A and B are shown apart, each in its own frame.
Chain A
Amino acid sequence: MNNKNNDHNPEIEQILDILRPTDVVELKVVDGDSSIFIRRPKPTTPNNLSPTDKKPGEIAMPRETRPLVIKSPLVGTFYFSPSPDKPPYVLVGNHVGVGQKVGVIETMKIFKDVTSNVRGKIIRVLVESGQKVEYGQELFLVEPEEPKNV
């Protein structure tokens, strides 16, 4: 089966859906006398971008590398470390993973961890330690990182 046209073929769509969150670059499926060959560019953005960001058919397109953002989950005072004598959780150039602590926010005398919701390398810090931050304020810019090949 040669599917040069961009017809909606449920089988191919299904395969693409399976491939979407993986690192697979090429795939050939032979079934009797029909075959499907899929080639994808190496992913330039990490997998944690929500699949809903992409329209069907868009996945095979190379995309620009846009920095990811770690935002403040709370209103309060932001600190890089849990206390002044402790080193900061992260610095520019550090790699962060999903769920990793990147700072704390003091809100109503309680310290709450700020964790990364993205994976990549910290390329810019947008706030200072001790700065007042509002909900949704951008804290760090993160360069998306290719997932390690296993």
Chain B
Amino acid sequence: MSRKNPKMFKKVLIANRGEIACRIIRACREMGLKTVAIRSEVDSNCLHVKLADESICVGPGPVLDSYLNIPSIISAAEITGADAIHPGYGFLAENTYFAEVCESCGIKFIGPDKDSIARMGDKVAARRLMRKAGIPIIPGTEEPVDINSADLAKVARRIGYPLMVKAAAGGGGKGMRLVRNESELIPAISIAQSEAKIAFGNPAVYLEKYIEEPRHIEFQIMGDSKGKVIYLPERDCSIQRRHQKLLEESPSVFVSDSLRKKMGRAAVRAGEAIDYLTVGTVEFLVDKKKNFYFMEMNTRIQVEHPVTEMVTGLDLVKEQIRLAAGEKILVDSDDITIRGAAIECRINAEDPEKEFLPSPGKIEQFILPGGPGIRVDTHGYAGYIIPSFYDSLLAKIISMGENRAEAIGKMQRALREFIIEGVKTTIPLHQQILNNEDFLKGEVFTNFLHKHILGGTDGK
């Protein structure tokens, strides 16, 4: 794997900020690649700017003018001589047009082919494609819904309540709404459309049957330019708040070896159906009878990728860069062994006591946890001022143990050690989750947080 690849990039521009930009810069540095950070005017002191070899200001604070500003970002790559762009997650990571512009400018987009993004990025088209590939999907509409359509209520009734409104271009819980009955339908579609427009620049939404108390289980896949696709062990991301993942673990207590094989193979078929290149994630909902349904595929590196790195020993960001540079996958799914159990807690600058209100501001004190089995991915440091323009993810703690109980014990210790002063964080919430009996037993469903921790007080 370490043989010199003449097609390997020389300089990578990271079209992102915060912890994921730091993560990518670290991978590039270990591979001997030069790095260019982009920054908005308010991000001059963000850690990714300090870690990169050079940085370029691409616009003012608002994301539309900076981290989503395609001409500025391409121009930054051109003037710095970067031959590849890593989009991270969010922002432009699943933007087909951006991938297309990169290609036409002769800059390698580190991610799948633009057609793969397009085919999975449109969640409606993706569902159709997956059904054709023989992968079970959740019943719902084939096409985006029209809020003014006379048939809308009829269509919704056919699917049955409760149902979900989902952004066709979506992911990350944006542009998503639960609808319990007909009276909620129109307002939910309207809000989901506005959210989708802001988050993805595309207001299209579709309807889907809501599965009660499912688990969210996803498979990391990797594909190379020879058409080989493999799957890695699953991640259980059932601990969510309003469809935003908060805590992820690998492996899932619910997944047996045979279910893992079955779901993993379905994930591989999903990747093969779109000639998937580099790393991606196929998300499934799994009901109590172990029926699984394709939910969506994320054509990018994910926030929770470190738990898979911990249990497999692979560096997924390096793999992603290698695969984008045309290298081959040298292992098979069956060669991958699960080396233990890993948990990730997302530490957001939010106040869990005040309905998760974002808590930007100056970090006065920042003391990291450490010791055996603990990894922290963060862009935080004492004195850093968290700007209000961007998302609230501040740090990810990842713990690794021989088994789940040990990983939990280490995470509990790490959460106690982590001192952040000046801003509110989700640390106390994670402490509650890690002490919850149902969590300890592995009884986790996507409504876990709402039901057990927030006492049903947290909206939906």
The answer to whether B41 touches A108, judged by C-beta atoms less than 8 angstroms apart, is no
Contact A136/B57 with A76-B75, A108-B78 known, Cβ cut-off 8 Å: yes
Main SS class of interface, B: helix
In angstroms, Cα B372 to Cα A28, docked, is: 79
Contact of A75 among B41, B79, B101 (CB under 8 A): B79
Does any Cβ of A come within 8 Å of B56's Cβ?
Answer: yes
**Complex Cα gap A108–B78 (Å):** 8
A residues near B56, Cβ cutoff 8 Å: 75, 134-135
Q: How far is the CB of A90 from chain B (nearest CB, A)?
A: 23
Q: A75-B57, A75-B58, A108-B105 are in contact. Are A134 and B78 (CB under 8 A)?
A: no
B75 and A108: CB pair below 8 A? yes
Min CB gap B77→A, angstroms = 10
User: Which residue of the partner chain, among A75, A110, A136, A137, contacts B76 with CB atoms under 8 Å?
Assistant: A75
Write out the residue numbers on chain B whose beta carbons fall within 8 Å of the beta carbon of A75: 56-59, 71-73, 75-76, 79
B74 in the interface, Cβ–Cβ < 8 Å? yes
CB distance from B56 to the nearest CB of A (A): 5
A137 / chain B contacts, CB cutoff of 8 Å: 57
**Is A115's beta carbon under 8 Å from chain B?**
no
A117 within 8 A of B: no
| Contact assessment for B76 and A134 in the assembled complex, using a CB-CB cutoff below 8 Å | yes
Measured in the bound complex, the distance between the Cα atoms of B76 and A136 in whole Å is 13
A35 contacts chain B at the CB level, 8 A cutoff = no
> Is B60 close to A, CB under 8 A?
yes
Number of B residues near A (Cβ < 8 Å) is 18
A66 at the interface (CB under 8 A from B): no
Residue-wise interface mask of A (125-149) relative to B, using a CB-CB cutoff of 8 A (1 in contact, 0 not)? 0000000111111000000000000
Report yes or no: B57 in contact with A74, Cβ–Cβ below 8 A. no
Binary CB contact string for chain A from 64 to 81 against chain B (1 if under 8 A, 0 otherwise): 000000000011110000
Which residues on B sit within 8 Å (CB–CB) of A135?
Answer: 41, 56-60, 66, 72
What's the minimum C-beta distance from B71 to chain A, rounded to whole angstroms? Answer: 5
Q: How far is the CB of A79 from chain B (nearest CB, A)?
A: 13
CB-nearest residue of chain B relative to A72?
A: B57
Cα A100 to Cα B80 in complex, Å, equals: 29
Does A107 interact with chain B (Cβ within 8 Å)? Answer: yes
- What's the minimum C-beta distance from B58 to chain A, rounded to whole angstroms? 5
Chain B 62-84, CB within 8 Å of chain A: the 1/0 string? 00001000011111101110000
Give the residues from 84 to 117 in chain B that come closer than 8 angstroms, CB to CB, to chain A: 101, 105
The answer to whether A107 touches B41, judged by C-beta atoms less than 8 angstroms apart, is no
| Residues B71 and A134 in contact, CB atoms below 8 Å apart | no
- Bound together, the chains give a CA A110 to CA B71 distance in angstroms of 10
- Nearest chain A residue, comparing its CB with the CB of B72: A75
Q: Which residues of chain A come closer than 8 Å to B78, judged between CB atoms?
A: 76, 108
* CB neighbours of B71 from chain A (8 A): 74-75, 107-108, 110
CA distance A136 to B78 in the complex (A): 18
B70 nearest in chain A by CB position: A108
A76 touches B79 (CB 8 A): yes
- In the complex, the chain A residue whose C-beta lies closest to that of B74 is A108
Quick check: B57 and A134 within 8 Å, CB to CB?
yes
Instruction: Give the CA-CA distance A74 to B57 in the complex, in Å.
Output: 9
Q: Which residues of B contact A134 (CB under 8 A)?
A: 56-58, 76
Neighbouring A residues of B72 by C-beta, 8 Å: 74-75, 107, 135
Q: Interface centre among B71, B75, B79, by most A CB within 10 Å?
A: B75
A135, B80: Cα distance in complex, Å: 14
Task: State whether A107 touches B57 (Cβ < 8 A).
Answer: no
Within 8 A of B (CB), among A72-108: 74-77, 107-108
- Complex alpha-carbon distance, A54 and B71, angstroms: 35
Chain A's closest residue to B78 (CB) is: A108
In the assembled complex, which residues on chain B have CB atoms less than 8 Å from the CB atom of A110?
A: 71
**Which residues in A have their C-beta under 8 angstroms from that of B59?**
75, 135
Find the A residue at minimum CB distance from B80.
A132
Kindly identify, within residues 314 to 367 of chain B, every residue whose CB is under 8 Å from any CB belonging to chain A. none
Smallest CB separation, B30 vs chain A (Å): 27
Can you name the residue of chain B whose Cβ is closest to the Cβ of A132? B79
| A110 vs B59: C-alpha distance when bound (angstroms) | 18
Those of B15-67 within 8 Å (CB) of chain A: 41, 56-60, 66
Question: A107, A132, A134 — which one has the most chain B CB atoms within 10 A of its CB?
Answer: A134
A119→B169 CA distance, assembly (Å): 46
Q: What is the bound-complex CA distance between A110 and B74, given in angstroms?
A: 12
Q: Which of A75, A107, A134 has the most CB of B within 10 A?
A: A75
Is A136 a contact partner of B79 (Cβ separation < 8 A)? no
Measured CB to CB, the nearest residue on chain B to A137 is: B57
> B253-290: which residues lie under 8 A (CB-CB) from chain A?
none
Bound-state CA distance A115–B74 (Å) is: 22
Instruction: Give A133 to B56 CA distance when docked, in angstroms.
Output: 9
B48 vs chain A, min Cβ distance (A): 16
Contact partners of A136 in chain B: CB under 8 A = 41, 57, 60
- Complex Cα spacing A77 to B74, Å: 12
Instruction: Kindly state the separation between the CA atoms of A134 and B43 in the bound complex, as whole angstroms.
Output: 14
Nearest chain-B residue to A106 (Cβ)?
B75
Mark interface residues in A18-35 (1 if CB within 8 Å of B CB, else 0): 000000000000000000
How far in angstroms is the closest Cβ of chain B from A26? 41
**Could you show 7 A-B contacts with beta carbons less than 8 Å apart?**
A75-B56, A75-B79, A107-B72, A108-B74, A110-B71, A135-B41, A135-B59
12 further interface pairs, Cβ-Cβ under 8 Å (given A108-B105, A133-B79)? A75-B56, A75-B75, A75-B79, A107-B75, A108-B71, A110-B71, A135-B41, A135-B57, A135-B58, A135-B59, A135-B60, A136-B60
Please give the residue numbers on chain A whose beta carbons come within 8 Å of chain B beta carbons, in ascending order: 74-77, 107-108, 110, 132-137
Closest 3 CB pairs of A and B: A132-B79, A75-B75, A134-B57
